[in-house]
Amino acid sequence: MASSALISETQPWKDLKGHVEDIKRTHLRELMSDAERCRSMMVEFEDILLDYSRQCATLDTIDKLFTLAEAASLKQKIERMYNGERINSTENRSVSHVALRAPRDAVICSDGKNVVPDVWKVLDKIKEFSERVRNGAWVGATGKVLKDVIAVGIGGSFLGPLFVHKSLQTDPEASEHASGRQLHFLANVDPIDVARNISGLNPETTLVVVVSKTFTTAETMLNARTLREWISAALGPSAVAKHMVAVSTNLPLVEKFGIDPNNAFAFWDWVGGRFSVCSAVGVLPLSLQYGFPIVEKFLKGAQSIDQHFHSAPFDKNIPVLLGLLSVWNVSFLGYPARAILPYSQALEKFAPHIQQVSMESNGKGVSIDGVPLPFEAGEIDFGEPGTNGQHSFYQLIHQGRVIPCDFIGIVKSQQPVYLKGEVVNNHDELMSNFFAQPDALAYGKTPEQLRRENVPHHLIPHKTFTGNRPSLSLLLPSLTAYNIGQLLAIYEHRVAVQGFIWGINSFDQWGVELGKSLATKVRKQLHASRVKGEPVEGFNYSTTTMLTRYLEATSDVPSDPPTLLPRI
Ligand SMILES: O=P(O)(O)OC[C@H]1O[C@H](O)[C@H](O)[C@@H](O)[C@@H]1O
């Protein structure tokens, strides 16, 4: 395919379009009765099992998707990513997050330079620093051990580390190493988030890690200044050096902020924010909480998937299969959403993280060459841990809109509970739902079945389930740091595969800029009105009315107030 051609103009895309009608005529009940098909739709890597037999797809569909992958030059695009070419063309950057978890002796180049030694230099520095904080060699300004950490950051500088932290929190090995320590995340610029974070914390025992790739993000910088004030007010300005460190690609701005550059942990512009959890963005706060050796296991897990993604043939390649199936569901079957449903409370923040990884990456309207797309790219990702979701939005998934679901199950619970006399243990109870839901969606329940059950006539339409609703199941052996790294990398690469097929740039995010610049205009207006009493000007009727009301109702706010921090 010529580089500027749209994938939708290729024959394999058209063939898949034509194939949709065949699939729509075939119910999943039928597809599931073909054991040979189902066997072919199970893929294993290490102890991870992917079962995609409940996709509305035949083996012929999968073959057609592989042909589409060829037309999209998927293999070559993956290669270009691993070779450190500048595939993020609108920002003129390479996309090398795989280098963040590469073994020390690996060679991964970005722009022709092996970046693995730089990666390990920072990892070694994190290891050394986190050990000193954890063992009390590095103490706060009053000589107390820093047992609490607040990581200040937003978007990619927040969601991934939060997901991994929540996943490790109840892992027996990780939690043993976190004993007596707390890790908090301050993301929202809402002062309530500040209040909630510092409530109950003592500045004397708290270390603040400011995490920002650019070190210019308005929310993060204001939150960082707020916590700097919280520390200075309690311990004096010189305490900041002992209580604040930073993670950034912009070390000059870190220094300007007043953080000692020796206490800054670098990463690089070849790491996208939403792909940065394996850089110091995640590794520093997580190492402070759990110790570097646990985080190293997490990195090794991600690395195992990097190798699998790079080398496994497409029919055995979990991220490739997942990506192709998502393209099939979105672009051909027309399902705009995807539910991410982990049957593990430890994965409670997985869906919010993947929301950013996926929606910020693939929510694009033009091809990588700037040509408007004649098809929709990206999907709406959402999710909650099972079984909570079942008692909330599953109704819509069973009888309303068709939403392809990812069911994620864990064989061995992090925290098993056995109660004498119960039919099954607590994890079995959870997993009963994990195994049942995909079949409920696939098979549904017919009016005939309901009649056989003597369901009253008038209730039959209400109790009928059409079925034929696609899902896939991922079964992980356990939820150790290693498996968590694997899960992360599977989804990161899946999203990249989708973008590679759609022919978009999955690694920029221009769509977030407009809102930011309009907020700057509002910020200026609020300042001018409060300080100089200037009227609201230059906005449309709606915004002028809302802003004026807001200013009038807060006219008691002094124009030059003294510092006031939350009091709870
Ligand atoms: O890490 P930072 O530079 O502070 O950026 C934080 C976030 O800012 C923006 O909103 C981008 O859309 C995100 O991709 C990024 O993760």
Q: CB atoms < 10 A from the CB of 565, how many?
A: 14
Distance 213 CA to ligand 1 centre (A): 7
What residues does ligand 1 touch, defined as CB less than 6 Å away? 154-157, 212-214, 217, 220, 273-274, 360, 509, 512
Distance 279 CA to ligand 1 centre (A): 14
Q: Which of 90, 93, 97, 157 to mutate to test the pocket of ligand 1 (most atoms within 8 A of CB)?
A: 157
Number of H helices, E strands in the chain: 24, 13
| 128 belongs to the catalytic site | no
| 429 belongs to the catalytic site | no
Give 77-106 pLDDT, tens digit per residue: 999 999 999 999 999 999 999 999 999 999
CA–CA separation, 118 and 106 (whole Å): 12
What is the structure's pLDDT at 4? Answer: 63
What is the structure's pLDDT at 5? Answer: 87
Q: Which of 186, 211, 213 to mutate to test the pocket of ligand 1 (most atoms within 8 A of CB)?
A: 213
Distance 436 CA to ligand 1 centre (A): 39
Portion of the chain with pLDDT greater than 90, in percent: 96
CA–CA separation, 116 and 275 (whole Å): 16
Provide the whole-model pTM: 0.97
Give 468-498 pLDDT, tens digit per residue: 999 999 999 999 999 999 999 999 999 999 9
Q: CB atoms < 10 A from the CB of 268, how many?
A: 19
Does residue 20 register a pLDDT over 80? yes
Does residue 24 register a pLDDT over 80? yes
Atom of ligand 1 minimally distant from the CA of 248: 1
Give 358-395 pLDDT, tens digit per residue: 999 999 999 999 999 999 999 999 999 989 999 999 99
Task: Please compute the mean of the pLDDT values over residues 194-210 and round it to a whole number.
Answer: 97
Report the nearest-CA residue for atom 8 of ligand 1: 155
Cα 207 versus chain centre, distance: 25
Q: What angle do CA 544, 546, 551 make, to 5 degrees?
A: 90
Closest CA to 68 of 332, 278, 383: 332
Atom of ligand 1 minimally distant from the CA of 154: 6
Task: Please compute the mean of the pLDDT values over residues 345-357 and round it to a whole number.
Answer: 98
The residue length of the chain stands at 568
Distance 382 CA to ligand 1 centre (A): 20
What is the structure's pLDDT at 1? Answer: 43
CA–CA separation, 82 and 509 (whole Å): 21
Q: Which of 221, 269, 279, 512 to mutate to test the pocket of ligand 1 (most atoms within 8 A of CB)?
A: 512
Does residue 112 register a pLDDT over 90? no
Atom of ligand 1 minimally distant from the CA of 220: 4
Report the nearest-CA residue for atom 4 of ligand 1: 212
Report the nearest-CA residue for atom 13 of ligand 1: 155
CA–CA separation, 374 and 231 (whole Å): 53
- Among residues 17, 412, 516, 521, which one is catalytic? 516
- Among residues 391, 521, 524, 527, which one is catalytic? 391
**Full DSSP string of 126-159:** HHHHHHHHHHTSSB-TTS-B--EEEEE--GGGTH
Distance 115 CA to ligand 1 centre (A): 23
Question: Measured between alpha carbons, how far is residue 218 from residues 152, 215, 221 in Å?
Answer: 12, 9, 5
CB under 8 Å to 81, separation ≥6 — which residues? 87, 94, 95, 96, 98, 496
Distance 184 CA to ligand 1 centre (A): 19
Say yes or no: ipTM exceeds 0.95.
yes
CB under 8 Å to 89, separation ≥6 — which residues? 368, 505
Distance 211 CA to ligand 1 centre (A): 10
Task: Please compute the mean of the pLDDT values over residues 14-37 and round it to a whole number.
Answer: 97
Portion of the chain with pLDDT greater than 70, in percent: 99
Strand partners, 473: 51, 407
Distance 153 CA to ligand 1 centre (A): 8
Using DSSP, state whether 340 is helix, strand or coil. strand
Q: Are 241 and 253 in contact (CB under 8 A)?
A: no
Q: Are 342 and 259 in contact (CB under 8 A)?
A: no
Task: Please compute the mean of the pLDDT values over residues 128-149 and round it to a whole number.
Answer: 98
| Confidence at 2, pLDDT banded by 50, 70, 90 | very low
Distance 156 CA to ligand 1 centre (A): 6
Higher pLDDT, 567 or 200: 200
- Among residues 85, 219, 348, 360, which one is catalytic? 360
Using DSSP, state whether 326 is helix, strand or coil. helix
| 534 belongs to the catalytic site | no
Q: CB atoms < 10 A from the CB of 439, how many?
A: 15
Distance 332 CA to ligand 1 centre (A): 32
Q: Which of 88, 93, 154 to mutate to test the pocket of ligand 1 (most atoms within 8 A of CB)?
A: 154
CB under 8 Å to 503, separation ≥6 — which residues? 6, 7, 72, 367, 368
Q: What average pLDDT does the chain have?
A: 97
Burial of 6 (0-12, 13-18, 19+ CB in 10 A): middle
Report the nearest-CA residue for atom 11 of ligand 1: 155
Dihedral sign for Cα 504, 332, 67, 321, please.
positive
**Full DSSP string of 273-322:** GGG-TTSHHHHHHHHHHH-HHHHHHHHHHHHHHHHHHHHS-GGG-HHHHH
